[in-house]
Structure 1
Amino acid sequence: MHVLIVGANGFIGRHLAARLVAEGVRVIAAGRSPDRLRRRLPGAKAIRCDLAADGAEDWCERLAGVDAVVNCAGLFGDDRGYADVHSGGPIALFDACRAAGVGRVLQISALGAAADATSAYHRSKAAADDHLAAMGAGIGFAIVRPSLVIGHGGQSSALFTALSALPVMPDLGRADGLVQPIHVDDLVELLVRLLHAPRPLAARIDAVGPEPMTTAALVAVLRRWLGLPDTMRVAVPRWLIAAVACVGIGPVTRERLAMLAMLAAGNTGSVEPLVAMTGFRPVPIAQALARRHANEADLRMARLAPVAPVLRVALALVWFAGGAIPLFVTPAATNMAWLARVGLSGGAATTALWAGALADIAVGAALLLRIRGAALAGIALMATYTQILTHIAPELWAAPFGPLAKNIAVLALSLAVHALETRHG
């Protein structure tokens, strides 16, 4: 079998591609970054695609000799991209599949996708689903509609695992809707069975686990998986969750806030049609998680996730302060006296003062804007300042309150921010 996976760099796509490659299936991994796909999926052929821009004609050559296509592409939290990535792009892909004679198409949709859904996310998914279902004979298809998918590398898992590792258990109140989580391994097993299912195939399948539960119950399951003891619950009002998400200093980002809003409406379905069609029954999420025991790295990342955004903001504030204080707080005479020690005076000293201050502010802004390499630029600038000060005022290393010694802590903070920035590079 020759399978093309669109969105192979995503959570579900990566897991499916790895499973198929391990089974000896010829896999084409398609995404916007072929180089990254080659690194992550060495057994697959990597090609570039962009659902937001590609038309049916762009797929013709890519689909040559392909037996089946799985569309795993998607985005969350950006309403502006839904029409292209969830609707227009997949529709062009499906039309190209029919023209190329692809025998099987699997569309990863979402539980709750419908033309009259309240969320733009679900409506955009439904548009592509309905187009595929209306294509009629000549193409076997399955529209797979997962509930919450849990597993290594997933955004949902990252959010709820981070919440489970907090010192107290957050009670989301009205945002705590029922979900029916399915583990990504079970979802992949379902997709593999559908790829190998005898023809004809024309189905919409709700991919759900066997147990409906609240998100609070899911957090408790993940807490036990991490090996953490039970703790007290604290009610978290909806407005506070939204405020933290907007500021960007906690585990609930704006995208994850949108996900919680949809989950609040409920996200459940019957597992029996899935079992009847495929002969496969997903296991409860606690049992699925037990297949791989949590280790220290899992716990460390869960605890780091809520504070990671705070580290970036804290480092940015250090740089903003470094630029603003000499301009607006330190007496001009003091500034000139320090610059005189490196041989600068008059206009040259003023230029150097403003250049250094603006450079500090620029690093702070780059950190807040998440510009790649900002933390490294800060390290280089800090190293320059430290070298100059060590040359002209070595006594600062032994001065009260350690003004230069504290640069070591800033260096460590900068390295941590840079590491978090590039860990998925």
Structure 2
Amino acid sequence: MNILLLGGSGLIGSRLSKALLAAGHNLTLLSRSAGNAADYTYIQADFAALQSADDWLPHLAGIDIVINAVGIFAESARQKFADIHIAAPQALFAACELTGVRRVIQVSALGAAPNAPTAYWRSKGIADASLAASSLDWTIIRPSLIYAPEGASCRVFCSLVTLPCIANLSGAANVQPVHIDDLITLLVKLTVQALAIKQVINAIGPEAMPLSHWWQSLRLAMGLAPAFSIPLAPWLQNMAARCLPSALLTTDSFTMLRSGNSADSQLFATLLGRAPQPALPTQQDKTEVKRHALLGWLLPLLQISVALVWLCTAAVCLWAWPRAESYALLGKTGIPSAWQPLLFYGSVAMDSLFGVLCLLGKGWRMQLYLVLAYSIIIACKLPEFLWHPFGPLLKNLPILALLMLFDQLAYLKRPEK
């Protein structure tokens, strides 16, 4: 079967593409950049720019089924709900009617409706309503919160629940998270069999529960003891959403959690042929999930700690430590008195700059070289700091190790050329 999969690089699409190939289907992916995988046929195009039926017509030739798994959770300067969730899908549905592509599977979201309380849900709901009003053999899948170990939102949740104490969001309604494996199983099954035509399927877990209960269950599944929870009032939730640098923890996120994310799972279970599995780490992957979860907040904590070392060092040198003693130490390293003020203020400026770069996650190698140079010079010129009982110079060793770690992590994140 020839399938056009839209959103093949996303959380759902990346898993679904592998599963569809394994099931023996011919897969066409749409991407802004040309792909080179031999297993796929690629269409190089910008999904959001295809806003008329004529734009889509050339891409539907020979296609049997269209699966739209494109979605964004938050808007940006380049990506808008109106383009990605509404205009492009509506144009796609119209083009499918013109070309005779009958089967369209739309991956939406639980809670989507044209009159929903958030822009994300409303935009998804408007597209769903357009598809439901068409003459196509459509199926709309509305997943709840998705548990997927590699998913960005799931990793945020898992990191939050490994903290020493977790927030109990006051006013949050029940959630019914779904395991990614169940969602992919359903989508593959729908492509093989003409099931649930002109139906909306709520893809959800086996039971509805308070969010705090799911979080505690995640802890237990990772092998952690239950955590102490702190009630977080709605106004504090909104304040946290404005202060936290996360596209996932927004005021709309908390609004959706307060609105609820649960439904009847009977149709989903019937189509799966079994009860949905719990949205939790399995015994096989719990160690890996726990490791990623802990690093999710430990690495930022270490990053902030290194930044504070630089910034506090600059502040102490500039305002707290006697200036004459600083100049005397520079003199002991062989710096002429005429150069001491320049080097003093230069080092304060450098420390301040590196503190800011730490917070931005940049400049790790420059910091590494500077700390190494400082350490060598001080060890040679001021050996008393090397043998000092408080170990002021030896403490540079863990700093150097941390800088090496951050430098290598930054290197791994660079895109391949």
Q: CA deviation at 1:118?
A: 0.9
Distance 1:377 1:66, change over 3 A: farther
CA distance in 1, matches of 2:43, 2:370: 39
Q: Deviations over 1:236-289 (max 9, x none)?
A: 44455555555549xxx452354343122111222234456x464442416x75
| Change beyond 3 A, Cα 1:322–1:166 | closer
**2:142 is aligned with 1:145:** yes
Letter of the 1:26 partner, please give it.
N
Matched, 1:215 2:204: no
Alignment match, 1:113: 112
Tell me, yes or no, if structure 1 residue 296 matches structure 2 residue 310: no
1:283 and 2:272 aligned: no
Q: Take 1:247 and 1:167, find their aligned partners in 2: how far apart are those partners?
A: 21
Deviations 1:178-223 (A, max 9, x none): 1122111111111112222338943332222231111122123222
Q: Extract unaligned runs of 5+ from structure 1.
A: none
Alignment of 1:20-169 (within 5 A): 20-31=20-31, 43-44=39-40, 49-56=45-52, 62-78=59-75, 81-95=80-94, 97-98=96-97, 102-134=101-133, 136-137=134-135, 139-168=136-165
Distance 1:384 1:97 in 2: 65
Please say if residues 30 and 45 of structure 2, whose CA atoms lie closer than 8 Å, have aligned partners that are also in contact: yes
CA contact (8 A) 1:33 1:48 kept: yes
Relative distance call for 1:361 and 1:96 in structure 2 (3 A) is farther
**Match of residue 364 from structure 2:** 375
Match of 1:265 in 2: 259
User: What is the CA–CA distance in structure 1 between the aligned matches of 2:66 and 2:233, rounded to whole Å?
Assistant: 43
**Runs of 4 or more off by more than 6 Å in structure 1?**
none
Contact 1:79 1:121 in 2 (8 A): no
The separation in 1 between residues aligned to 2:99 and 2:337, in whole angstroms, is: 74
Residue 79 of structure 1 and its aligned partner are, at CA, apart by 7.1
Give a deviation string over 1:331-386, Cα, whole Å, max 9, x none. 4444444445354554x55444444433332332233234xx43334223323333
Q: 1:111 to 1:422 in 2, by over 3 A?
A: farther
162-171 or 401-410, larger mean C-alpha shift: 162-171
Which of 282, 305, 308 is equivalent to 2:299? 308
Instruction: Using structure 1 for the length normalisation, give the TM-score.
Output: 0.81
What TM-score do you get using the length of structure 2 for normalisation? 0.82
Rate the CA distance shift 1:367–1:33 in 2: closer, same or farther, 3 A.
farther
Partner of 2:388: 399
* 1:228 is aligned to 2:224: yes
Between the two proteins, the alignment pairs up a number of residues equal to 409
2:171 match: secondary structure: helix
Q: 1:186 aligns with which of 166, 182, 189?
A: 182
Q: CA separation of 1:417/1:104 partners in 2, compared to 1, >3 Å: closer, same or farther?
A: farther
CA contact (8 A) 1:140 1:199 kept: no
1:300-379 equivalence runs, <5 A: 300-340=291-331, 341-343=333-335, 345-346=337-338, 349-370=340-361, 373-379=362-368
C-alpha RMSD of the superposition: 3.5
Q: Do the aligned partners of 1:51 and 1:85 also contact (CA within 8 Å) in 2?
A: yes
Deviations 1:86-106 (A, max 9, x none): 233433444555556544332
Identity within the alignment, %: 33
Contact 2:186 2:272 in 1 (8 A): no
CA separation of 1:281 and 1:342: change in aligned 2, threshold 3 A: farther
Listed as ranges, the matches of 1:232-243 within 5 Å are: 232-242=228-238
1:203 pairs with 2:199:
yes
Structure 2 CA distance, aligned partners of 1:326 and 1:48? Answer: 56
What's the secondary structure of 2:214's corresponding residue?
A: helix
Q: For the Cα contact (< 8 Å) 1:245–1:254, is it kept in 2?
A: no
Alignment match, 1:7: 7
Aligned pair in 2 of structure 1 residues 141, 222: CA closer, same or farther (>3 Å)?
A: same
Structure 2 Cα separation of the partners of residues 123 and 169 of structure 1? 30
Query: Matches of 1:161 and 1:215 in 2, distance apart?
Result: 12
C-alpha displacement of 1:151: 2.3
Q: Which runs of 5+ in 2 are unaligned?
A: none
1:150/1:405 Cα in 2 relative to 1: closer, same or farther (>3 Å)? same
Q: Which residue of 1 aligns with 2:248?
A: 255
